[in-house]
Amino acid sequence: MSEKGIDFVKSSEVGSGSGSSQEKYGTYIDATDAQSHGEKPKLKGFKKWVDGFKRADTADMNLDPNISEAEKIAILTANSPLSKSLKQRHLTMIAIGGSIGTGLFVGSGGSLHTGGPAGLLIAYILIGTMIYCTVHSLGELAVTFPVSGAFVTYNTRFIDPSWGFAMAWNYAMQWLVVLPLELVAAAMTIKYWDTTTNSAAFVIIFYVLIIVINMFGVRGYGESEFIFSIIKVTAVLGFMILGIILAAGGTGKGYIGGKYWQHPGAFANGVKGVITVFVGAAFAFAGTELVGLAAAESTNPRKSLPSACRQVFWRITLFYVISLTLIGLLVPYDEPRLLSGSTDASASPFVIAIQNGGIKGLPSVMNVVIMIAVISVGNSSVFGSSRTLAALAASNQAPKIFGYIDKQGRPLVGVFAQLLIGALCFLAASDKQNLVFTWLQALSGLSSIFTWGSINLCLIRFRRALYVQGRDTSELGFTSQPGITGAYWGVIMNLAVLGLQFWIAIFPLGEKPSAEAFFQALLTVPVVIVFYVGHKLWTRNWRIFYRANEIDIDTGRADLDLELLKQELAEEREYMAAQPFYKRWYNVWC
């Protein structure tokens, strides 16, 4: 044992089947628990709280200088001191309700006006199938490699370091600029009740709330998202029941049925209207991938993450498809209130449907739900950006200071950097706020498309590496339900959305072409290109991608003893095969 409590153990000493890459540079095993030096005196009260902000004890790793950059990053991110305290219930609610936000509650109104009820459903269903495939691709990778940074490091590992650098910074920037936008949106929801007070006054309240939540680390994020998601899910389920009653004329306003599909019609602007809705639908699903990022901080990703991934099917079906079907029945696409431009309940098609039904009181309740949804997205932005910055620092792709993780497992510098940029929310008091926030939103507009496409491409490359190196999916703790076909569908759909957005940016719906409209729609693309080309020039690495036989498919694995894993999986399959049909059905979908 070394002085710092780290043993350099060969893979043959850890377990069989660990692969050639670990025979090359081994696996780092924390051996400090193997010997006792006497317990340190326990800190109490304030001293314990202060001590928690000190840097976590991490051992220095003298890595083999001959290993590749991808292998180096895999080792460093696999040994992150992030807290692993998220439980099954946290991941479940993050997966089910984590991305339910203003994209569904408010943004769907603009999509309804643009595409009509049929166009709205077509766009959301197609994007939903892509999201389903993407989450399963991510689940397979994250269960196998629950490393810090998850998919932002998989790009470097399975595709190319320059692409990994571009995608990681793309993802970090997406969340960095989201926080001030969401804080202002949260403050704007108050205007539904109070139109006299400057919204900047309420920004301070929400800003402090986000700070307090994140001072509790990943448990603070997990518990808050658990509560927020329960509220959002309950609200959507309640609306679905109410929506059926409203459509059937149960409130005395008369039977509605499908009359709005006939007049004003099922499609608002034909094919171009449906295409325009695609991007809005993608925005509504943004944040779905956070469940993969959270896997590295869960107590048992092999048990909790597969269930969370399978439940995405129900979120897409129940919370998006069914609720938006009801919205299309209850609100005509030519409703003027859909275009109020507000982020509060006044522009929400859910609230408009309730108001049209003559129900009082509920619109205010829905506005509270919208406010909670906005705060939830802002909270998620701190989690997403800080973990991404920590992974970038660990892989030497960002300043080392961002890799500061304290004894509570909090990436403090990353959190503070996000909160510092979040202070842009105080521009809400400026008369230039609309200009600033429009370009901030443009900066992150297509980030999710790049992220989702890359996740599916990573699975394709991982499966190819398994095949070429004589391995197969029998050694994986979880395999994607749509499999490699689903991964290809995910890549194709994201490329299609990107291409269609390019067309819409040149010829916007109902507007004349302009340079401003073009860059507001596609600003993410040149930013990604600058990161990618800049990294190529800096590293002078002109390779486009790794060959399949070069890809490391072992470092950072959750299960090093592959033979033991295969035995456990066989026992689990045998046990499940003996269960009644309803239990086997539940296991497939839940």
List of residues 6+ apart from 160 with CB closer than 8 A:
543, 544, 545, 546
| Band of residue 453 on the pLDDT scale cut at 50, 70, 90 | very high
Average pLDDT, the chain: 81
- 21 or 476: which carries more pLDDT confidence? 476
The pLDDT tens digits for 117-139 are 999 999 999 999 999 999 999 99
What pLDDT score was predicted for residue 17?
40
**Nearest 10 degrees: Cα torsion 525, 527, 531, 533:** 60
What pLDDT score was predicted for residue 94?
79
Whether 309 has a pLDDT exceeding 80, the answer reads: yes
Going from the C-alpha of 249 to that of each of 240, 260, 328, 334, the distances in angstroms are 14, 14, 15, 21
Using a pLDDT cut of 90, give the percent of the chain over it. Answer: 26
Q: How far is CA 69 from the centre of its chain?
A: 26
Query: Averaged over 192-220, what is the pLDDT?
Result: 85
Q: Report the C-alpha gap between 588 and 590 in whole angstroms.
A: 6
Pick the most confident of 49-58, 65-74, 222-231, 516-525: 222-231
Whether 241 has a pLDDT exceeding 90, the answer reads: yes
Whether 74 has a pLDDT exceeding 70, the answer reads: no
- 339 or 491: which carries more pLDDT confidence? 491
| Band of residue 179 on the pLDDT scale cut at 50, 70, 90 | confident
Query: Averaged over 366-372, what is the pLDDT?
Result: 90
Residue 167's nearest CA partner among 376, 381, 391 is 391
| Band of residue 71 on the pLDDT scale cut at 50, 70, 90 | low
Backbone CA torsion sign across 578, 583, 589, 590: negative
Domains of the chain: 84-548 (1.20.1740.10)
Whether 16 has a pLDDT exceeding 70, the answer reads: no
Are 75 and 61 within 8 A, CB to CB?
yes
| Band of residue 75 on the pLDDT scale cut at 50, 70, 90 | low
Minimum mean pLDDT among 195-204, 260-269, 523-532: which range?
195-204
List of residues 6+ apart from 588 with CB closer than 8 A:
310, 481
pTM of the model: 0.84
Other CB atoms within 10 A of residue 544 CB: 10
List of residues 6+ apart from 481 with CB closer than 8 A:
136, 310, 588
Whether 537 has a pLDDT exceeding 50, the answer reads: yes
